[in-house]
Amino acid sequence: MTSDEQLLRAINLNRPGAFDEFVRVYGRRLLAFSMRTCGNPENAEDVFQDTLLKAYQALANLQEPRALRTWLYRIAANNCRMLGRKDRAARKISLDDFKPPGWEDGKILEVPDWSDLPDDAAGRAELRTAFEKGIAELPAEYRMVLLMRDVEGLSTRETAEALEIGQSAVKMRLHRARMALRHHLADYHQKLGGTAEAMT
């Protein structure tokens, strides 16, 4: 396996196959991230191409190999944001949007436990589709945090650096995004009629 340090050295020395290796290591991850972040496949392809180009041309200036992954996601996130601004104004979301019914009245909450996930491939695939839909419905800034932390596996610090926000903001947005997805999945299970009987 190529380390980021070896990869950067190969690119800086313009070794044959360096671009292919760069694409092999990071290409599909960045395209998947762009697809989920942009929502629109055409925009995502533009973002992906632009990210690869900008990154590959500027890699020689990157001094710290350990920062490579964070730096790539930062370029992709900024490209997505720029396209997002053209498409629509960023939607703000507050904690209130995720409050379950009854919260305001101080009632004891009935929280359905749907965490027993299906084992069969078909059930799992259907659940994944519902989950991807939930991700797509998140506001962009929340979606990016969730994708970086929970899907791409970046740490809180790396996500904060990639998005140029504080670690506290990462934690808040991640929590809200997870809560929104949790509600989305509870709705999905309710529609399936599984554990949803206890919901209302």
Residues found near another protein in the complex (CB under 8 A): 19, 23, 27-29, 31-32, 35-36, 41, 44-45, 48-49, 52-53, 56-57, 95, 108-115, 117, 127-128, 131-132, 135, 146, 150-153, 168, 171-172, 174-175, 178-179, 181-182, 185-186
Segment (H or E) for 128: helix 121-137
CA gap 153, 151 in Å, rounded: 6
Give the count of beta carbons closer than 10 Å to the beta carbon of residue 14: 9
Report in angstroms how near the CB of residue 11 gets to another protein at its nearest.
12
CB-nearer residue toward another protein: 53 or 90: 53
DSSP per position, 57-87: HHGGG---GGGHHHHHHHHHHHHHHHHHHHH
Report in angstroms how near the CB of residue 39 gets to another protein at its nearest.
14
CB-nearer residue toward another protein: 85 or 128: 128
Q: Hey, what are 66's tokens? A: 């350990």
CA gap 25, 29 in Å, rounded: 8
CB-nearer residue toward another protein: 108 or 122: 108
Report in angstroms how near the CB of residue 7 gets to another protein at its nearest.
16
